[in-house]
Amino acid sequence: MHDSGKVIVGITVFLIVVLSPIWYNALKGQASYVPELKFPINEKQCVESLSYMRTNHIALLNLWKETVVRTGERIYKARDGKTYTMSLVGTCMKCHSNKADFCDRCHHYVDVQPKCWDCHVAPKEVKKEALGDRR
């Protein structure tokens, strides 16, 4: 192979360019941008814990959808024993009523396009004074 040196240099440059964002974030220790969510001020607790909801909310919503559609059961019992109506619009969106400030920020950040709004009507946005910042 006559051009093996060029090939090796090309592969090395390609790997450096492609992997540089990963190295940058690994060395810096954090992502450069994290979306700021607007949480409802008037509610202190979600259906489940904040850490659970951050990682498992889509699994919970899918469970609710399957349970309601397949069995007709509409009551969800949370880990703390409280019960909630299994309803995206009636339960979740009652508190998280500003889709643009809550749902869309994370969904755009991780580049997912949930199919919630294929069937559900997005709620009307509320004024920003009713929202707070909680991490």
State how many domains the chain has.
2
pLDDT of residue 25: 74
114 and 51 in a common domain? yes
* 121 and 64 housed in the same domain: yes
Same domain assignment for residues 43 and 28: no
Regarding whether 123 and 68 lie in a shared domain, the answer is yes
Integer Cα distance of 89 and 107 in angstroms: 18
> Do 55 and 70 share a structural domain?
yes
Q: Are residues 58 and 109 in the same domain?
A: yes
Neighbours of 32 (CB within 10 A): 8
Task: Give the pLDDT of residue 97.
Answer: 82
Cα 51 to Cα 2, 11, 19, 48, 55, distances in angstroms: 56, 41, 29, 8, 7
Q: Specify the pLDDT at position 132.
A: 47
* Domain span at 102: 39-132
Whole-structure pTM value: 0.64
Q: Where are the beta strands (DSSP E) in 1-135?
A: 39-40, 75-77, 83-85, 131-132
Residue type, 69: V
Going from the first residue of the chain to its last (135 residues), give the mean pLDDT of each consecutive group of 10, the final group possibly shorter: 85 93 76 76 87 92 94 96 93 86 87 85 60 45
pLDDT of amino acid 134: 45
